[in-house]
Amino acid sequence: MKSKLALCGGRKTIDYDLKRYNPIGSEEKAAVMEVMDSGILSDFLGIWDEDKFYGGKNVKVFEEGVKEKFNVRHAVAVNSLTSGLIASVGAIGIEPGDEVIVSPWTMSATAMAILWWNAIPVFADIESETFCLSPQSIKKNLSSYTKAIIATDIFGQSADMGAINDIARANNLKVISDSAQAPNAMYNGAHAGTLADIGGYSLNYHKHIHTGEGGVLVTNDDNYAERLRLIRNHGENIVGPRGDVDLANMIGGNFRLGELEAAIGIQQLKKLDKLTSKMTDVGEKLRVGLAGLEGLRPPVVREGCTHVYYTFPMVIDPRAIGTSREKILGALRAEGVPIGKGYVNIHTLPIFLEKIAYGKKGFPWNSKIYRGSVRYGVGTCPVAESLHSESLVSIPICAYDWQSEDVESVIRAFHKVWEALPL
């Protein structure tokens, strides 16, 4: 006998609030109190000093830990990955009017980091199975003005960095990895984020490593690392006293991470394997538990890669199940499942549709610095648009402290709704 859906007055499958993700423990609390007792909440100087220009004790220890964990030559801590992406685009030498290819499925900050330097975001489409930037679409969007690619490791797994790097080498392009959602995910034995010229991870409160706000960049290039540090901390003040001769993009900011966040990050980094393995376990249990439901495709994990499930994205086929995505979402939410539609197509935001950013006259698109031609809006990224408008749904794995019974309840709720189809 079919169970009556909660949407129709039946008993709710998950009749309690899921516990919010909180990886903060006694170690983080002790580390914070040590910083508080010292009174040194930040130890950066925005003038040239061989020690304090590079930050305080905890910032440096955190950066050393990141270098060791991710097997890279350099780590540069910043106050957000938004800041980090801005610094990264500047560090690789992007010029005003250059084109940078980027995914439409990413945080808007990824594209804004390009505009920051008066360069032009060009949106390539995504892969239909992994939702990462499509190498085939990258090729279609190359022009003589293309100078770089920003590949977003969306939802918890790496983009196809082998194929993307092949394109970059063939066309003399730089590559940045926005790995905000994929720390500790692996791509053919290497960490996501470490296969680009510069990569970066978010430390935002709803990410795997949680320091409230913050980010950290990784690179194996000595020059890029130092340029990241200069842009992070008022580089315009530093290049003169140090005698730097490459002044391009030395418009620095205050992108510095505080000692409190760094102290938390040191402790969180020690837990990263445990934190991400739990997310992976939740994701894999859901994949198994939801396999076989008609018209529902659980996440596809790229061969040779691992997934750390920042979210659990699924594709619904409304035609196969005879029910719209909206009705499915309503029924699952009524059962207590935390589920949403997924991502916004940032290539359809007003800033791009109207090409209005700096001032009111369309700068930089309509200026003399840009000689190319780029189109935004519906029709430019059809795979992303179709998934967004009709079929993608996702569970925010990294938002909750999942227990086995929570996962089992979500699986039961899905089966309960599917048994009642069509709605």
Phi/psi of residue 15, nearest 5 degrees: -105, 30
Q: How does pLDDT run across 249-274, given as a tens digit for each residue? A: 999 999 999 999 999 999 999 999 99
pLDDT at 2 (0 to 100): 75
Biggest alpha carbon–alpha carbon distance for the chain: 79
Phi/psi of residue 48, nearest 5 degrees: -70, 120
The overall average pLDDT reported for the chain is: 97
Residue 78 lies in a domain: yes
Instruction: Considering only CA atoms, give the Rg of the chain.
Output: 23
Task: For the chain, give the percent of residues with pLDDT over 70.
Answer: 100
pTM over the 0.95 mark:
yes
pLDDT at 143 (0 to 100): 98
Instruction: Check which CATH number belongs to the domain holding 177 and give it.
Output: 3.40.640.10
pLDDT at 368 (0 to 100): 95
Residue 247 lies in a domain: yes
Mapped onto helix, strand or coil, the DSSP state of residue 205 is coil
Residue 382 pLDDT greater than 90, yes or no: yes
Mapped onto helix, strand or coil, the DSSP state of residue 36 is helix
Q: How does pLDDT run across 45-99, given as a tens digit for each residue? A: 999 999 999 999 999 999 999 999 999 999 999 999 999 999 999 999 999 999 9
Residue 39 lies in a domain: yes
Mapped onto helix, strand or coil, the DSSP state of residue 384 is helix
Residue 230 pLDDT greater than 90, yes or no: yes
> What total of structural domains would you count in the chain?
1
Please state, in angstroms and rounded to a whole number, the distance separating the CA atoms of residues 343 and 362. Answer: 26
The whole domain housing 261 covers 26-268
pLDDT at 3 (0 to 100): 85
Residue 47 lies in a domain: yes
pLDDT at 381 (0 to 100): 98
Residues 6 or more apart in contact with residue 8 via CB below 8 angstroms: none
Query: In the numeric block, which tokens belong to residue 39?
Result: 């009174």
Per DSSP, the chain holds a count of helices (H) and strands (E) of 14, 12
Query: In the numeric block, which tokens belong to residue 145?
Result: 């003005």
